[in-house]
Structure 1
């Protein structure tokens, strides 16, 4: 065996060691979602801090859940600075003990927004929005929709870099001949109107509605539509944006649940009144993203080219974003209650949403 062969063997041994759970120590629990528990960890070989997501197997009899398999397949395909990087998949001491190893980020933006007292400046909002839109644009260009965009699925590291995470509901879509998918996706507060009305031939525009809700949340430091039921969600949407009709959204009344809900007769859009400090261009961008008709809703590419990002102040470079103590430590009680309220909509109808 030559010197190169020896080097290859050592590299192979190192990779094998990294792929075992014994090579990682858990440093604390970060959070829990529908599809697994996440821990902060450290690699004993490299010293790198990572995030360890334990795949939830308690509902499975035939191996790894489809949602986790789909998440792994998608994350192995994508490489983008604003998408969290899957480093490896490792097996524990039992067949049902599987962990996904991710790069570590100090914050999720939902917890950060809930805990930080100071509001984001316009340039900071623009920085977070452009990074979010770049991640979404990258996915949509590859015919992948995320289907669960929300603040808690946006991570932020101490270098000011935003990373989109949690691809448990993500899947590829048909760009031309629309496929049929489950409408039981996206956390309720960020769920697009076509999903609320039961549409199962939706497009990547569902992600863009969620981006609009995230934009508003960056500005308000609170959720835009924090409904607890679908009808309450729709009433909140109509109260702010006006009620849908066939003029602004052709064909909406033919959707499966269009007659299920009695909507208020409210013809006015109150975005400008509700965001008095936002520029006219910013209000327009919010309006473009929160458009009822998914065919007219702005795309990620269109949003990135919007005049809002060209006007002063410019987006703050990530390296100049403020830093905060890690929010993965135990939150204060008020934030803990808000985080629990945030997660309620995430669990209401997601389980089993695999199509």
Structure 2
């Protein structure tokens, strides 16, 4: 690029430090990024925003893919992308999205603690559960309609707006694993052999399915629904997730079968075709799970098997992906027609009980950033930062799981990461700096562990070829027309 042109662009290019007050207001720290709560220096705009600084120099493939997708997506229940700021001086990338005060991970954790202390009314209110599920399904229906698989649905990636114009609105976030699936150049399992966070991974993925579908998102939603009803992760596995190329995991399958029962061929026709079926036969015996059923598990948590909530849950958690309910059909389920009806504000007319996010002290949290969050062990921290932060925000909780714009989900939530070569980062950073200058965009963390160099190159080619060939939202993936 011409040097004088770069100098002229640098003068007119907006800078984060000139537009926002965010110093001392960090609310998220991940392996691959930092998240700040910010307000604009322009006093006429009172809105709160989240700024995510991508770690390192340049931009990863997963962040590049997420920026491209989010610029095309426009739905009330999908995180909104406001702007991308590129700094050539220090090769930093900043992403601006709407700030969300809550997420399902912390909401569920709050109620789990209430149940442990045997407080009255410790369950999540029925209206809130139904409204949350309805909005999640509505957002996923929109993604699937536009041929996008999310591939990483979990409570930490479901944000909920706090007080304000969008109070109680669900925002599906963290699109770093998302992919277009309308015309893949090769099986998705070849490109990304391990997807979806451990406890929310569908059985077909654990059995090595090479051609998976949007049914993997539906299974994850079923897991989230069960967690909302019980305040406990339904398929929690004590063993650590293994960062390996093989998707098979005996202990996680054992946990699923101990609740759902042993999968029979009459219920799942294609189970014999799963790549890991021989290993599955060797590791599991039908007689070990004769007394297991979803109905028994939910009845222990006082959810009756004849309730409409349980009937919908059983459709979402159907073992055979071909028989699993779709998001469109789920939204028409009788569960949503009975009282209490779902609403746009998941909190209804009730006050918001949940604590706000705390600021993070970098010195105290540096060593804690890499701890595994899939075992809920978030610790409270006191805010200690500059006066600007103290004046702007008070009494907020630490957001170790602010996954909507933070890359912390990559390592902390048992997700695989992809190591991208510095040359590839330089190429993508240069491409974006020419395509996105002054426009909107958003991206998140690195993805997938230790992929082969050839596979990374194919990822790159697929990413940029999709902009012209695989667009499903009506215009180029790098076109800002009609967007935020």
Report if TM-score (shorter chain) is over 0.5.
Answer: yes
Confirm or deny that 1:246 pairs with 2:265. yes
**Closer, same or farther: CA 43–146 of 1 in aligned 2, 3 Å:** same
The offset of 1:345, in angstroms, is: 7.2
Does residue 278 of the first structure (1) align with residue 316 of the second (2)?
no
Relative distance call for 1:243 and 1:34 in structure 2 (3 A) is farther
Counterpart CA distance in 2 for 1:285 and 1:310 is 12
Counterpart contact for 1:187–1:346, Cα < 8 Å: yes
- Aligned equivalents of 1:185 and 1:114: distance in 2? 24
Determine whether 1:131 maps to 2:135. yes
Following the alignment from structure 2 to structure 1, what is the Cα–Cα distance between the partners of residues 293 and 222?
15
Q: Please say if 1:140 is aligned against 2:144.
A: yes
1:180 corresponds to: 188
Deviates more, 1:225-234 or 1:134-143: 225-234
Cα contact 1:241–1:270 (8 A) shared by 2: yes
Q: Which has the higher contact order (CA 8 A, sep 6+)?
A: 2
Work out whether 1:236 is the aligned partner of 2:274.
no
State TM-score, norm by structure 1.
0.85
SS at match of 1:119: coil
Cα offset, 1:284, TM superposition: 1.3
In the alignment of these two chains, the number of paired residues is: 333
Name the CA distance, whole Å, in 2 between partners of 1:345 and 1:207. Answer: 21
Inter-partner Cα distance in structure 2 for 1:327 and 1:77: 30
Residues 35 and 56 of structure 1 are in contact (CA less than 8 Å); yes or no, is this contact kept in structure 2?
Answer: yes
Q: 1:191 to 1:317 in 2, by over 3 A?
A: same
Asked if the contact 1:188/1:345 (under 8 Å) is kept, the reply is no
Does residue 107 in structure 1 map to residue 102 in structure 2? Answer: yes
In structure 2, runs of 5+ residues without a counterpart are 1-11, 115-121, 242-248, 361-372, 379-399, 402-408, 419-446, 449-455, 460-484
The whole-number CA distance in structure 1 between the counterparts of 2:354 and 2:415 is 32
Structure 2 Cα separation of the partners of residues 232 and 43 of structure 1: 48
Equivalent residue number for residue 277 of structure 2: 258
Q: In the superposition, relative to structure 1, how do residues 312 and 155 fare at CA in structure 2: closer, same or farther (>3 Å)?
A: same
The structural deviation recorded for 1:283 is: 1.2
Unaligned residue ranges in structure 1 (runs of 5+): 1-14
Aligned residue number for residue 31 of structure 1: 28
Secondary structure of 2:188 counterpart: coil
Pair 1:200–1:55, CA change in 2 (3 A): farther
Q: Given that residues 107 and 354 in structure 2 are in contact (C-alpha distance below 8 angstroms), is that contact kept between their aligned partners in structure 1?
A: no
Q: Which segment drifts farther, 69-78 or 178-187?
A: 178-187
Among 318, 329, 340, the alignment partner of 2:358 is 329
Counterpart residue number, 2:39: 42
- Looking at structure 2, the residues matched to 208 and 192 of structure 1 have their Cα atoms a distance apart, in angstroms, of 9
1:90 to partner: Cα distance = 0.9
8 Å contact kept, 1:143–1:175: no
Q: Equivalent residue for 2:423?
A: none
Asked whether 1:300 is paired with 2:327, we answer yes
Superposition map of 1:198-217 within 5 A? 198-217=208-227
Among candidates 22, 26, 29, match of residue 18 of structure 2: 22
Matched, 1:68 2:63: yes
Paired with 1:87 and 1:22, the residues of 2 have a C-alpha distance of: 16
Q: Tell me the CA shift for residue 324 of structure 1.
A: 3.2
Distance 1:287 1:89, change over 3 A: same
CA RMSD of aligned residues (A): 2.8
- In structure 1, C-alpha distance between the alignment counterparts of 2:183 and 2:255, rounded to whole Å: 31
Stretch of structure 1 that moved more, 282-291 or 177-186: 177-186
- Matched residues in 1 for 2:285 and 2:75: separation? 43
Give the corresponding residue for 1:338: 376
Q: Secondary structure at the match of 2:413?
A: helix
TM-score (norm 2): 0.63
Counterpart Cα distance in 2 of 1:178 and 1:302:
29
Superposition deviation, residue 350 in structure 1: 4.1
SS at match of 1:259: helix
1:6 maps to none
Deviation at 1:349, TM superposition (A): 2.9
Provide the rounded CA distance (Å) in 2 between the counterparts of 1:86 and 1:176.
25
Alpha-carbon distance in 2 for matches of 1:269, 1:37 = 43
Runs of 4+ in structure 1 off by over 4 angstroms are 175-178, 339-345
Q: Give the direction of change, closer, same or farther, for the CA distance of 1:183–1:307 in structure 2 (3 Å limit).
A: farther
Shift of 1:221: 0.9
- Deviation string, structure 1 residues 308-349 (Cα, Å, up to 9, x no partner): 111222224515354135442279xxxx86146996773353
